[in-house]
Amino acid sequence: MPTDAHVLGPGLLPTPFTADEIREATGAGKTIRLFVESPDGSQHERFNRFEQTDAEGATLRAWFAENPADVVTSRVTWTDLQHHAAFPADHTTVTTEAIDIPLGRVECTRYDTSDGPDAPVETYWFSPAHPGMPVRYEVPLDGGVLRTTVMSIEPA
């Protein structure tokens, strides 16, 4: 019986992209520039760059613009990245929405998810035109909301 590669387990909604779709959209050198707004009002630019890509994954280098020498490097698999978008079916709603971000007006699949009925709701916008991380996400924290928005995507 064929399985849907978008569904990673029982009780989970289909993810917006499969691991293979993320791999195909991500080559060595792909760099994502992000704008991060913290609940305390601080703002930062962050960069994610994929290097040493292969069939299983890539080396991910991440840093903040104000500290370019302070790079965090990790090995990620395409399946790891897909798992970031595996949300529980019983606590998540999925809708479509167009949003305006620095990439332009982007059609998105929006996931509003929580850990339960009384938990805060996190929101993630995934663009079918940009397989991989959400182009925007908002996570409630003590004192406000952490918002991250993709500013640009530089292909490999």
In tens, the pLDDT along 88-144 reads: 999 999 999 999 999 999 999 999 999 888 889 999 999 999 999 999 999 999 889
| H or E stretch at 96 | strand 92-101
Q: Per-residue pLDDT for 2 more than 70?
A: no
CATH number at residue 34: 2.50.20.10
Sorting pLDDT into bands at 50, 70 and 90, what band is 68?
Answer: confident
- Please name which of 49, 53, 47, 80 lies closest in space to residue 66, comparing C-alpha atoms: 47
In-domain check, residue 3: no
Residue 112 sits in which domain range? 19-154
Residue 112 lies in a domain: yes
Q: Does any domain span residue 96?
A: yes
For residues 110 and 151, give the distance between their C-alpha atoms in angstroms, rounded to a whole number.
18
Structure confidence at residue 79 as a pLDDT band (50, 70, 90): very high
Q: Is-contact 87 111, C-beta < 8 A?
A: yes
Amino acid letter, 135 = V
Please name every residue paired with 139 in a beta bridge, in sequence order, or none if there are none: 146
What pLDDT, on a 0 to 100 scale, did the predictor assign at position 1? 43
108 and 16 in contact (C-beta within 8 Å)?
no
Q: Total domain count for the chain?
A: 1
Q: Confirm whether 50 is domain-assigned.
A: yes
